[in-house]
Structure 1
């Protein structure tokens, strides 16, 4: 059984990921062997001042964050994905507020997304091994298999493509290091989604780039 500090840390982590109380109880029980009642969970959330409807982030701060995200992704992301990004960033805001803000600051993007038409994006890459794109597919997880691949963003060369039956996070990290050894160096940027299975990989990439002097050193060498 974890102590109170560990439980509080887990609650803050899952709260930031916008996990519901029901799912939070299941995660605590099955992943961390911490069995508590819903009433106890609510009391603990109250003690560490984690509220969904109180202490909301100022809308000006939320708007600034949304505009910054739009500079990176353009008008590709809808309000549901932007709402998830706000939660991961630690902003306390409801989904409806994000939807209304996007309608105000990006009306053209909202109309384009409503049309449900694919639009070709402009992709630019500085050269070979500048950006590696890494992604996983777990559709075969019921059979004990998951697929992970890595592509060089400049040449579209497939750096690796493996199917594994082991732990996803451990296997992804292992394949990444093997690719780095094979190429005798890491890329300047690793781009993945925000799945928890990529956490170890992000730390390894940041460690490999920790001593570089360019603007993509350390944690800046990871993009999600």
Structure 2
């Protein structure tokens, strides 16, 4: 198998592209014409799985603590899961949710209470704005 093709497939796979998107890019930009079956076979033979190989729990916890420290604590587990995915760290949503519950229970409770913070707006009169 062509090493360049395998490297390209790995890069596009790690970017999170879907199979059809990988095939389109390979065909249009690189001239490689593959079927979906061939692509899936190549991915499985070389051990490229999306969800089968999760990252170590301590790595996920360290990343969550780092993100909470530097980008704020009021983000939910879906946002955190997205950030993990962007960094190439594979973790289940439930695992992320439980880790966030353990690492920052106060803010998780605040988010779950769906508190609505009312704001005060001042205008010069009715229908002014």
Name the TM-score class by shorter chain: 0.5 to 0.7
Q: Which protein has the bigger strand share? A: 1
- In the TM superposition, what are the counterparts of 1:140-155 in structure 2 within 5 Å? none
Match of 1:56 in 2: 54
Deviation >6 Å, runs of 4+: none
| 8 A Cα contact 1:16 1:88, kept in partner | no
Residues matched between the structures, number = 117
Task: Give the SS at the match of 2:67.
Answer: helix
Q: Counterparts of 1:29 and 1:37 in 2: how far apart (Å)?
A: 10
* Structure 2: distance between partners of 1:90 and 1:49: 15
**1:11-26 alignment runs, 5 A limit:** 11-26=9-24
User: In the TM superposition, what are the counterparts of 1:165-180 in structure 2 within 5 Å?
Assistant: none
Instruction: Indicate the structure whose relative CO is greater, using CA pairs within 8 Å and at least 6 residues apart.
Output: 2
In the alignment, structure 1 segments of 5+ residues that lack a partner are: 119-224
Larger Rg: 2
Cα deviation digits, residues 182-214 of structure 1 (max 9, x gap)? xxxxxxxxxxxxxxxxxxxxxxxxxxxxxxxxx
Unaligned runs of 5+ in 2: 118-129
Q: Between Structure 1 and Structure 2, which shows a larger proportion of helix residues?
A: 2
RMSD: 2.9
From 83, 93, 96, the equivalent of 1:95 is: 93
